Structure 1
Amino acid sequence: MNLADTFSVAGRAAIVTGGASGLGLAFAEVLAAHGASVTLLDMDAAALEREVTRLVAEGHDVQGAQLDVTDRAALDAAFDAVAGRQGRLDIVFANAGIDPGPGFATLSPAGERVDAHRIEAAEDAPWLKVVDLSLNAVFYSIRAAARHMRPRGTGSIVVTTSVSALRPAPALNASYAAAKSGAAQLVRAAAIELAQDNVRVNAIAPGPFVTNIGQGHIRDPEVQKRFAAGVPMGRVALPDEVKPLALYLASDASSFVTGQQIAIDGGASLPAARF
């Protein structure tokens, strides 16, 4: 087995939702760097233009399209456009997400409770927005991908869930754990159905990464320290650290892997150690 060939995605057509920043951009970068034609889908027009321009200048085959992934018609049209332009659709990263807002406890080690964020005080609109983007849009993306991958008998779909799908965080709104857990189970259900057609469906469950989500508050060194306190490895991660796992799941290196949710969290989903 030639491992370099096994990890290659050269000549393959890929879509990354939420691809103009954070982990989505990391996914797009590693796919493009290894030869894929990558289309970034994102709501942020300025970030999309900036990153597509940069990646093209670096010699990569990258395009971009602005859209809201909760707009089913627009999402379907974007997937159809990529498949029509490329003559195929091989890889989809359903990554777009949203900051869910604070939970019932603070991020501090003591985890002080916040009365205003108790579940009985929750309003419908924020809950529905998180579920719509972090669960419903994942379904729309998997559905759109399957329409193009199943007839060709090949494809890899990778969903971004979260460590919160494994271990809910009191500092994050409960809608996030619910949506991400639902997305993880959707991955398993879709994987069972699509396995006979050689379409693999997996999930990456990130722990604390330094991205712009939540107005980029984790870029603050003090916030990083608070997050790191809950990570056995004692630190937060940078987006580049997700790239090897993303390439593994997108490529033939993971040809016998489907229905899995792989945590990349420094051990944050493990039970707390007691010394």
Structure 2
Amino acid sequence: MSAASGSDPRTLFDVRGRGAVVTGAASGLGFAIARVLARNGARVLLVDNTAETLEEALGRLAGEGLEVRSRVADVRDRAALDEVMGEAASWGSGLDIVFANAGISSGLGRRFGNGVDDIDPERWQAVLDVNLTGLMHTVQAASARMNDGAGRIVVTSSVAGLAVDPLVGYAYSSSKAAVTLFAQNVATELAPRGINVNVIAPGSFLTAIGAKNPGNTGMIDELTRATATKRIADPAEIEGLALLLASPAAGHITGSVFVIDGGVLATRN
């Protein structure tokens, strides 16, 4: 797929016939990303480690007549991801788009009494294993099998990885800071192959990660107050940015970080 020309949105944002993989696709941002790609004509392989939720997500999209498949896999398992990307590469015209979105939370931050002395080493390691090492596995497996020329890898970071955020746990913010720099390093390496690598840094979206936190109500109230828009975003609001970064319109965009946070960072300045 060559660089987009003209201003026809049917060309600029055309992902028809493109092969995509989305991790963490059973719910939240991952499901919204998979949905917008599939609704715009991409072949989408949904990946998650929760079989029941993944089956439900697949059924919702397949019920719309979309070209979707699913695969249960844990991003901590490199061999499993090799199989996932291999399947995507052998489906249709191959693998063109990967959203490395899977992640877990480390719980509430120091605003809620969880200071540096309260870090649980086991939880710290579990979060880094999924959010950082799992993302590394995803990108490695994807780059080994992705079509050259117009590839797209998009990783999910967080505004909590871009600036100090006392609302979220140390492990989560630390892992997301590392994710951002990792992706920018990979962007410089893969650019000669025509593969663009970018970062989405979401702010206050109501997803399964946040909903499962103990004391969730207090955190949602704090997150709402921290935004300029004074509301928590719906996961569907990620779709426009995701489609942009997967499309020909992003042909000259790589190594960039796209904040979508309802004005959280702007409000802090």
Q: Kindly indicate whether residue 34 of structure 2 is the aligned counterpart of residue 37 of structure 1.
A: no
> What is the SS of the residue equivalent to 1:213?
helix
- Equivalent residue, structure 2, for 1:160: 156
Q: CA deviation at 1:223?
A: 5.0
| Structure 1: unaligned runs, 5 residues or longer | 107-113
User: Aligned in 2, Cα 1:222/1:178: closer, same or farther, shift over 3 Å?
Assistant: closer
Kept after mapping to 1: 8 A contact 2:184/2:255: yes
> What is the SS of the residue equivalent to 1:38?
strand
In the alignment, the residues of structure 2 paired with residue 156 and residue 41 of structure 1 have an alpha-carbon distance, to the nearest angstrom, of 17
Q: CA deviation at 1:222?
A: 6.5
> What is the SS of the residue equivalent to 2:208?
coil
User: Aligned in 2, Cα 1:221/1:100: closer, same or farther, shift over 3 Å?
Assistant: closer
In the alignment, the residues of structure 1 paired with residue 17 and residue 87 of structure 2 have an alpha-carbon distance, to the nearest angstrom, of 17
Q: CA deviation at 1:177?
A: 1.3
Residue 229 of structure 1, aligned match among 214, 218, 225: 225
- RMSD of aligned residue pairs (Cα, Å): 1.8
> What is the SS of the residue equivalent to 1:269?
helix
- Equivalent residue, structure 1, for 2:3: none
> What is the SS of the residue equivalent to 1:86?
coil
Residue 57 of structure 1, aligned match among 54, 63, 66: 63
- Paired positions, count: 263
Q: Which moved more, 1:246-255 or 1:86-95?
A: 86-95
In the alignment, the residues of structure 1 paired with residue 250 and residue 228 of structure 2 have an alpha-carbon distance, to the nearest angstrom, of 27
1:202-221 matched pairs, under 5 angstroms: 202-216=198-212
Deviations, residues 223-271 of structure 1 (Å, cap 9, x unaligned): 5433111112221111111100000000011110000110000111235
In the alignment, the residues of structure 1 paired with residue 148 and residue 233 of structure 2 have an alpha-carbon distance, to the nearest angstrom, of 37
User: Aligned in 2, Cα 1:102/1:223: closer, same or farther, shift over 3 Å?
Assistant: closer
In the alignment, the residues of structure 1 paired with residue 213 and residue 183 of structure 2 have an alpha-carbon distance, to the nearest angstrom, of 29
Kept after mapping to 2: 8 A contact 1:168/1:174: no
- Equivalent residue, structure 1, for 2:115: 118
Q: Kindly indicate whether residue 69 of structure 2 is the aligned counterpart of residue 72 of structure 1.
A: no
In the alignment, the residues of structure 1 paired with residue 155 and residue 161 of structure 2 have an alpha-carbon distance, to the nearest angstrom, of 12
**Normalization by structure 1: what TM-score?**
0.91
Aligned AA (2:232): V
Kept after mapping to 2: 8 A contact 1:224/1:235: no
| Structure 2: unaligned runs, 5 residues or longer | 1-5
